[in-house]
Amino acid sequence: MEHDGTESRDTLPVSSWEGAFFGAGWQPGGSVLDSTDVVHGHRLTTVGVPEERQIAEVAALADRTRRQWWSLPPENRAEVLRRAAELLITWREELAGWLVAESGAVWGKALWELEGSAAELNEAAELATLDTTVEADSPVPGRRAEARRVPLGVVGVITPWNMPMLLAVRSVGPALATGNAVLLKPDPNTPVSGGTLLAHVLRRAGVPDGLFAVLPGDADTARSVVDAAEVTAVSFTGSTSAGREVGRRAGGGLKKCLLELGGNNPFVVLDDADPVTAAEAGAWGGFVHSGQLCIGVGRHLVHRSIAEEYVAALVERAEALVVGDPRHGGTQIGPIINRTQHERISSIVAATVESGARKLTSREPEFPFHPPTVLTGVRPGTPAFDEEIFGPVAAVTVFDDDAEAVGLANASEHGLSAAVRSGSEERGNAVARELRAGMIHLGDQTVNSEPKLPFGGFGQSGNGGSFGGVAGVEAFSTWQTRTVTGPGRKFRF
């Protein structure tokens, strides 16, 4: 990636963010954080990590700036978001390069993420002009009564590394559309592709300085964002364990908290499904982006009568996928984000095999890569069934009837996404109705999302669908009731 340091239409100015964070424009932090190439380990650039004092100053400025933003005509806010969506596409080649380098995305996944991010911003623009006013008949003579949605104030957004751009704009877009200011804390693995780049895009699109900030750092930075007095709501996407801590801190301040957490998603293949095409879908859902997606297929639940054919087709696909540097055009499976996660995936596979499961694929992991892996004989109580692996591991469990399939699918503390494959839509629907998940896909696999539809889960996967379409209005605004009473009202005393 070569840059000339100018903020032209076709390049991104790396020189402006070296050692800086984005608050009231670019400013130096108290320390720096390296942006690192996932495969080769070398430093790409540095960003600034703000001190607690600086975060407090940025939050106070955001609170002042948001009032002017909310006073703009809704179409003005919508137009800024549309311009931002256009810039994501205009700069997509350079932006995709950062996603490949920092997050390990293969090129196709990086471009898909940018297209999805642009779609999220365009959907947010529609929310800006949505009329939410509700009029009501009042029993008081001479009174008009209505309710409308108003901004929450300053929203803290904390995002992960696996879809750094998309999972940022999924919150940032609707929050800005509904009149809020935003403090974004990107994951330390992806400070540029998950935050710095978005600051450039939004600033260029017309978001006023002070309204949107990017605050890189670790858990200490996240805690400072959640605790900031001006922050009235927090949107967190990440692991269930970290989400619990964010929820506790936000709840202590009586702040609204939107949590989209982990998943251990079931892919149910009934006996009337075609096992080969089902395995194609299962391979995609389980191995795409090296399995590092919260909505990826976690558990392959397959009817015993077709399990042998399904597993054979799944193994064949797994062995054929090209693993390597995502910069290479033919690569299908890129690296694992860091050594800690790589070791965790390998340990889950080893422990599951020790418990009696079989590993049917031949390739062995070598950091930073983990090849697609197929395990059979996986049952409840084994790590690959009980835990969210977050890696390219297909854990196959067989069942004998639909009731057992439902029981296995629901045998998880998570409830994010689920999918059912059946030759009969009626039968598939009957199974789907029994599944405990926030999103269910018939005839497909679990990796699906639509900008216009709510996204979220049950149980330890979060507190409901807070993103997508009108759910964004519900998430980032609140009701305000107004009455207007004419003169001459009589009171009892």
Name the residues annotated as catalytic.
260, 294
Q: To which H or E segment does residue 54 belong?
A: helix 52-71
What DSSP string runs through 271-290? Answer: TTS-HHHHHHHHHHHHHGGG
Cα-based distances in Å from 184 to 22, 217, 236: 10, 11, 10
C-alpha span between 237 and 97 (Å, rounded): 23
* Residue located via tokens 């064949």: 316
Give the E-state strand segments of 10-73 in sequence order: 20-23, 25-28, 31-36, 43-49
Q: To which H or E segment does residue 370 belong?
A: none
C-alpha span between 180 and 165 (Å, rounded): 19
Neighbours of 138 (CB within 10 A): 14
* Cα angle, residue 379 at apex, residues 373 and 383 outer, rounded to 5°: 60
Q: Which two tokens stand for residue 6?
A: 């100018």
The DSSP bridge partners found for residue 22 are: 26, 214
* Eight-class DSSP state of 483: E
Contact present, 405 and 268 (Cβ < 8 Å): yes
The DSSP bridge partners found for residue 266 are: 299
CA trace torsion 290, 293, 299, 301 (10° rounding): -100
C-alpha span between 389 and 366 (Å, rounded): 17
C-alpha span between 218 and 119 (Å, rounded): 29
* Eight-class DSSP state of 333: B
Contact present, 473 and 149 (Cβ < 8 Å): yes
* Eight-class DSSP state of 387: S
Pairing of strands 212-214, 393-399: unpaired
